[in-house]
Amino acid sequence: MIGHSIVLLGGPDSGKTNYISRLWLALNSKKLTLVAPRNPVDIQYVEGGAAHILSGVFAPRSDTNSRPDDLTLEIPVRLASDRDGEEVLISVPDVSGELWKEAIQRGDVSHEWMETLKQASGALLFVRVLSNSNVTPLDWVNAAEYLSWAGEGAPTDENGDEILIPTQVALCEMLRFLDETLERVNGTPPKVAVLITAWDLVDKDRSLGGPTAYLKEEFPLFAGRLLDCSTLDVRTFGVSIVGGDFEDPAFTAEFHEGVMDEMGYVVVEDPESGVQIIHDVTLPVAWVVEPLFEHA
């Protein structure tokens, strides 16, 4: 069995920990595209998150002092469609969004995280619908100025106050880190799944338009960068880990009545079938690791 690492990137509050905790429950159900044939070595970390979700609350934000090893889900997976198929050991480090934010402000990633990135052969990049931590876009001109900024330390305004980097600029930077560091297996472009989390909070009309249109409207600079990026294989997914918001008591009551395996979905789109809701939260990871099975 060959080990592969998939890295999770995203600013604070972008839904990384909740997704990975829900992913563990989904893999363990053994009913979806990707299955966990055996238990991971150390599941304490994701089990904590999963216990929150099962009790009807979202998993809490991650501790910024944790090291990569403490926040890594390491688990053998196999495609459900291939019962006797190879297993791939995936290792998914969940780096706190605060650390990514600091790295972007400083313009570099610490040596330790850089090593984690270099060992990864694919990535999940997170951005969350309606997060208070999103720094909303300025106009295109300002955002482009941030992107071309290359000074020491964090950018400051004319009064010397630190400027918060708009979320879409931070996303472009994270994509650049990935492009520069991801391992290229057999020379093919590494896969990066962009996960738009808390998709259940997108209003009905907009959700029908699908995740790519949503990105284009909310983060046009980043959406444009994705279109231009030929050195990475990028696909965008909408994700709702339980199909609703635990802040809504009516939903939470419904959740407690429901069956966990049927809760939560991803939104995918392709030119032939259009926008589709699929009740399988393993899909983004399955898509990222698919080529790795060929080399297992």
Ligand X SMILES: Nc1nc2c(ncn2[C@@H]2O[C@H](COP(=O)(O)OP(=O)(O)OP(=O)(O)O)[C@@H](O)[C@H]2O)c(=O)[nH]1
Residues near ligand X (CB under 6 A):
10, 12-18, 58-59, 61-62, 96-98, 126, 128, 197-198, 200-201, 240-241, 245
Please give, one letter per residue, the 3-state secondary structure of the chain.
CEEEEEEEEECCCCCHHHHHHHHHHHHHHCCCCEECCCCCCCCHHHHHHHHHHHCCCCCCCCCCCCCHHHHEEEEEEEECCCCCCCCEEEEEEECCHHHHHHHHHHCCCCHHHHHHHHHEEEEEEEEECCCCCCCCCCCHHHHHHHHHCCCCCCCECCCCCECCCCHHHHHHHHHHHHHHHCCCHHHCCCEEEEEEECHHHCCHHHHHHCHHHHHHHHCHHHHHHHHHCCCCEEEEEEEECCCCCCCCHHHHHHHHHCCHHHCCEEEEEECCCEEEEECCCCHHHHHHHHHHHHCC
* Nearer residue to ligand X within complex by CB, 61 or 176: 61
Q: Please report, as residue ranges, which positions from 49 to 108 form the binding site for Mg ion (by CB under 5 A).
A: 62
**Which of the choices Mg ion, ligand X, none does residue 245 contact, using the CB cut-off of 5 to 8 A by kind?**
ligand X
Q: What is the smallest separation between the CB atom of 38 and ligand X, expressed in angstroms? A: 25
Cα distance between residue 18 and residue 36, in whole Å: 18
Q: What is the smallest separation between the CB atom of 230 and ligand X, expressed in angstroms? A: 28
**Which of the choices ligand X, Mg ion, none does residue 235 contact, using the CB cut-off of 5 to 8 A by kind?**
none
* Nearer residue to Mg ion within complex by CB, 62 or 72: 62
Choices 10-18, 145-153, 250-258, 286-294 (CB under 5 A): range interacting with Mg ion: 10-18
**Which of the choices Mg ion, ligand X, none does residue 128 contact, using the CB cut-off of 5 to 8 A by kind?**
ligand X
Q: What is the smallest separation between the CB atom of 166 and ligand X, expressed in angstroms? A: 17
* Nearer residue to ligand X within complex by CB, 70 or 86: 70
Q: What is the smallest separation between the CB atom of 136 and ligand X, expressed in angstroms? A: 17
Q: What is the smallest separation between the CB atom of 3 and ligand X, expressed in angstroms? A: 23
Count the site residues for Mg ion by CB under 5 A. Answer: 3
* Residue closest to ligand X when measured from CB atoms: 97
* Nearer residue to ligand X within complex by CB, 11 or 40: 11
* Nearer residue to ligand X within complex by CB, 24 or 126: 126
Cα distance between residue 90 and residue 92, in whole Å: 6
Q: What is the smallest separation between the CB atom of 196 and ligand X, expressed in angstroms? A: 10
* Nearer residue to Mg ion within complex by CB, 16 or 101: 16
17 near Mg ion, judged by CB under 5 A:
yes
Q: Which residues are CB-contacts of 174 (< 8 A; sequence separation ≥ 6)? A: 9, 10, 100, 104, 125
Phi/psi of residue 191, nearest 5 degrees: -90, 135
* Nearer residue to ligand X within complex by CB, 48 or 274: 48
Cα distance between residue 251 and residue 108, in whole Å: 41
* Nearer residue to Mg ion within complex by CB, 62 or 168: 62
Cα distance between residue 68 and residue 72, in whole Å: 6
**Which of the choices ligand X, Mg ion, none does residue 10 contact, using the CB cut-off of 5 to 8 A by kind?**
ligand X
Q: What is the smallest separation between the CB atom of 276 and ligand X, expressed in angstroms? A: 18
Residues that bind Mg ion (CB under 5 A): 16-17, 62
